[in-house]
Amino acid sequence: MTKVKIITDSCADLSAELLEKYNIDYARMSTVEDGVESPALLTWSCEDAHKLYDTIRGGKRITTTQVPVEEFTRIFTKYLDEGYDIVYIGCASKQSGSVNTGSVTAKKLLEKYPDRAIYCIDALNASIGEGMLAIEAAKMAMEGKSADEIWSAVLPMRNTICEFATPFTLEHLRKAGRVSASSAFFGNLMGVKPIIIADANGAQAAFKKVKGRNNALREIVSLLKESITDAGNQTVYVAHADCSEEEIATVVDAIKAEIGCREVSVGYIGPIVGASVGPDTIGVWAFGKEVTFAAEA
């Protein structure tokens, strides 16, 4: 049976340790600061993360690019030449055009590699939600499953990823075109903090509003507790945009106290997602009940 390589992209927010553990590669997007593009690396250091988020705190806007054709051509060709079939799990198409670009590039490359297969999957998630799908796909690849089997198994998983995150403000999401101006206004009114989710269609949606930051931190854990299934066999993922150690501990301790999960994994929200959600965003992710909520268009 042909071996399978799992590829994701810079939105997946998997740490260097997780990428290595599960033998996952990723297509690079870029951040843009003062007109200069830099590759959005998931293997960045704590110092790199702090520098990016401090830059945004200082008022500078960091923009982002999707995965270019040249990058897809590079990474797909690398593994096709090594004899792999490929499953690419890309950021939700509601948030990035990368998965569409990947599909077009794959179709062209398969004319040159007719005996190979490339499956491109719209994750309907970003950040750790996307990364979780890549991890599950990688586990199946390690078990010897075919690319077609992995594709078929991953598709129904997409709406079982439960994300609950709280940005410090909706302003960064508004500037990035992720929420409406009115949502950003009400989200910042009188200390009200938003809770955002990946909705059923893969869009980032303001799901709930909570008064005060501490209440918001507790609420994301409470919402995950209501949604998670088979908690004892799961890892709950926490990702943050350079939050304080105290806030991270508040969330992790609440998860350990309230959710009987197998373990808690903590990491950074990467440079692409981070540029959109802004500093001090923190979220929790796990598999759970089917996501049916869909934001109004």
Domain membership flag for residue 292: no
Question: Does residue 25 sit in the same domain as residue 153?
Answer: yes
How far apart CA 98 and CA 60 sit, in angstroms, is 25
Residue 207's pLDDT is 86
3-state SS string over 55-67?
Answer: HHHCCCCCEEECC
- Per-residue pLDDT at 182: 47
Q: Examine residue 175 and state whether it is found in any structural domain, yes or no.
A: yes
* Phi, psi dihedrals of residue 215, rounded to the nearest 5°: -65, -35
When divided into structural domains, the chain yields a total of 2
Residues of the chain with pLDDT under 70: 174-190, 297
Q: Same structural domain for residues 18 and 89? A: yes
Determine the pLDDT at residue 179: 56
Q: Kindly report the CATH number assigned to the domain that includes residue 163.
A: 3.30.1180.10
Same domain, 231 and 137: no
Cβ atoms of 76 and 109 within 8 Å: the answer is: yes
Calpha distance 75→277 (Å, rounded):
27
Structural domain of 283 = 159-287
Given 95, 129, 158, which residue is the final one in a domain? 158
Predicted confidence at residue 180, as pLDDT, reads: 44
Check residue 191 and give its pLDDT.
76
206 with 152, same domain: the answer is no
Beta strands in 60-117 (DSSP E): 63-65, 85-90
Instruction: Give the predicted TM-score (pTM) of the model.
Output: 0.95
Q: Which residues contact 206 (CB under 8 A, 6 or more apart)?
A: 170, 179, 183, 187, 194, 195, 196, 295
Same domain, 163 and 260: yes
- For residue 13, the model assigns a pLDDT of 98
Identify whether residues 41 and 73 lie together within a single domain: yes
The DSSP H or E segment spanning 106 is helix 98-112
Same domain, yes or no, for 198 and 266? yes
Provide φ and ψ at 182, rounded to 5°. -65, -40
Q: Is there a domain that residue 294 lies in?
A: no
Please indicate, yes or no, whether residues 117 and 163 belong to a single structural domain of this protein. no
pLDDT at 176: 62
Answer whether residue 126 is part of any domain.
yes
List beta partners, residue 26.
Answer: 8
| Cα gap 222→49, rounded to integer Å | 28
Are 107 and 197 members of one domain? no
